[in-house]
Amino acid sequence: MAVSESAPAIAADLTQDQLRSMYRDMVLGRLLDERILVLNRQGRAPFAISGQGHEAAQVGVGYALRRGHDWLVPYYRDLTLVMVMGMEPKDHLMASLGRAQDPNSGARQMPGHYGSRAHNIVTTGSPVATQILHAVGVATAFKYRGEDKVVVTSVGEGGTSEGDWHEGLNWAAVHRLPVIFLVENNSYAISVPQSLQMAVAHVADRGPGYGMPSATVDGGDCLAVYAAAREAVDRARRGEGPTLLEAVCMRLQSHSSDDDQRRYRSPDDLAQMREHDPLERFRRQLEGAGVLSEGDADTIRKECQRVIEAAQAEADAAAPPDPATALRHVYQEG
Ligand SMILES: Cc1ncc(C[n+]2csc(CCOP(=O)(O)OP(=O)(O)O)c2C)c(N)n1
Ligand SMILES: [Mg+2]
């Protein structure tokens, strides 16, 4: 279906302002991600893990949630999603530069380990897929307390090979918990392609095995992800249990700043991927539907640049943690 035909229909419950704001959030996520990679190459940020290519999926899911009410148990690629939930560029730059004001952990954890009590974001652990169990625990609490809250947890397709994944999905389905399992499938677990991770074509093929609804959606199509996530969130809020939602994304950058994907992906593969950049797709879609006028995309980009410049100025000026606090949260103090 042509983009200009599908946009107004799919976006029926989104206002033009919301659509513009979704695009703006994608641009902000991308530009901040690029800035963090530059800081890493400059030797200022010790580690960077990029979410470039995942922005459309993350914004689509984020807008399906009630911010300040619902919960998120994210993974390390969710830079854009945690900002949709309320975190700010400044927060990420504080973390990347190891400042005491890093809201995730006061610069204790590596960058990319998001957590914010203020925005209902549960802190990220380093072993992949442990977040699945944490989210199932959160959803269990919502159900016990009779709350109408929903929790989303995200994971890469590689993480779905972990035992935690299977235990979590089984438990959530048995107890019909209000949780959405978002798989951001970018076809690689570091250098391991999907064909060596699983014998099914789609992670969502496993949904029936757990007894839960599942869907594979084009993760480069923000509004398609939004529609699928809305359905899952509404179902969970009605007390009808969990959903497995697989968003097919692309990993535009290497796995992390310690990796070089040119060593295991062909130049053709990398070039082709860039042609389908989700940001460009959404811009064209919104321009085709008359939501963005000529020059709007450029104005949005410049506004986001200014936000990032101001955030970096603040993070540059901020202090690192006091070395005397190095053992805080490790041993009891006093
Ligand atoms: C239990 C565990 N095993 C291995 C690792 C090392 N590791 C970190 S990320 C990663 C790949 C995960 O790939 P995927 O789930 O597809 O997510 P992506 O990075 O592609 O978004 C691995 C193997 C880890 N952190 N924890
Ligand atoms: Mg992956």
Average pLDDT (101-108) is 95
Residue 253 banded pLDDT, cuts 50, 70, 90 = very high
Residues with Cβ within 8 Å of residue 118, at least 6 apart in sequence: 86, 103
The alpha carbon of 229 and the centre of ligand 2 are apart by a number of angstroms equal to 20
CA 92, 93, 99, 102: dihedral to nearest 10 degrees?
Answer: -20
Percentage of residues of the chain with pLDDT beyond 90? 93
pLDDT at 328 (0 to 100):
86
Return the CATH class of domain 3-315. alpha beta
Question: Which numbered atom of ligand 1 lies nearest the CA of 126?
Answer: 25
Q: How far is CA 38 from CA 64, 79, 110, 257, 323, in A?
A: 32, 16, 17, 10, 27
By CB atoms closer than 10 A (0-12, 13-18, 19+), residue 326 is exposed
Q: Is the pLDDT of residue 10 over 90?
A: no
The alpha carbon of 47 and the centre of ligand 1 are apart by a number of angstroms equal to 15
pLDDT at 2 (0 to 100):
34
Average pLDDT (278-285) is 97
Quote the CA–CA distance of 318 and 218 in Å, as a whole number.
40
The alpha carbon of 25 and the centre of ligand 2 are apart by a number of angstroms equal to 22
Map out the domains of the chain as residue ranges. 3-315
Q: Which residues have a beta carbon within 5 Å of ligand 2, which is an ion?
A: 156-158, 186, 188-189
At 12-66, the pLDDT tens digits run 789 999 999 999 999 999 999 999 999 999 999 999 999 999 999 999 999 999 9
What are the strands, taking DSSP E only, across the chain? 71-73, 151-156, 179-185, 188-189, 192-193, 214-218, 243-248
277: left (phi over 0), alpha (psi -120 to 50) or beta: beta
At 150-178, the pLDDT tens digits run 999 999 999 999 999 999 999 999 999 99
Q: Is the pLDDT of residue 128 over 90?
A: yes
- DSSP secondary-structure letter at 109? S
* Mutation test residue for ligand 1: of 183, 190, 203, the one with most atoms within 8 Å of CB: 190
Tell me the average pLDDT of the chain. 95
Quote the CA–CA distance of 305 and 303 in Å, as a whole number.
5
Size of the chain, expressed as the number of residues it contains = 334
- Strand 214-218, strand 243-248: pairing: parallel
At 290-327, the pLDDT tens digits run 999 999 999 999 999 999 999 999 999 999 999 999 88
238 in active site: no
Nearest CA to ligand 1 atom 26: 127
Percentage of residues of the chain with pLDDT beyond 70? 96
What are the strands, taking DSSP E only, across 194-323? 214-218, 243-248
pLDDT at 333 (0 to 100):
78
DSSP three-state, residue 147: coil
Question: Could you count the other beta carbons within 10 Å of the beta carbon of residue 5?
Answer: 11
Residues with Cβ within 8 Å of residue 52, at least 6 apart in sequence: 30, 33, 34, 251, 252, 253
Residue 11 banded pLDDT, cuts 50, 70, 90 = low
User: What six digits make up the tokens of 100?
Assistant: 């005491």
Residues 152, 134: contact at Cβ < 8 Å?
no
- Strand 192-193, strand 214-218: pairing: unpaired
Active-site residue identified among 264, 265, 281, 301: 264
264 in active site: yes
Question: Which numbered atom of ligand 1 lies nearest the CA of 129?
Answer: 1
Residue 161, phi then psi, degrees to nearest 5: -85, -5
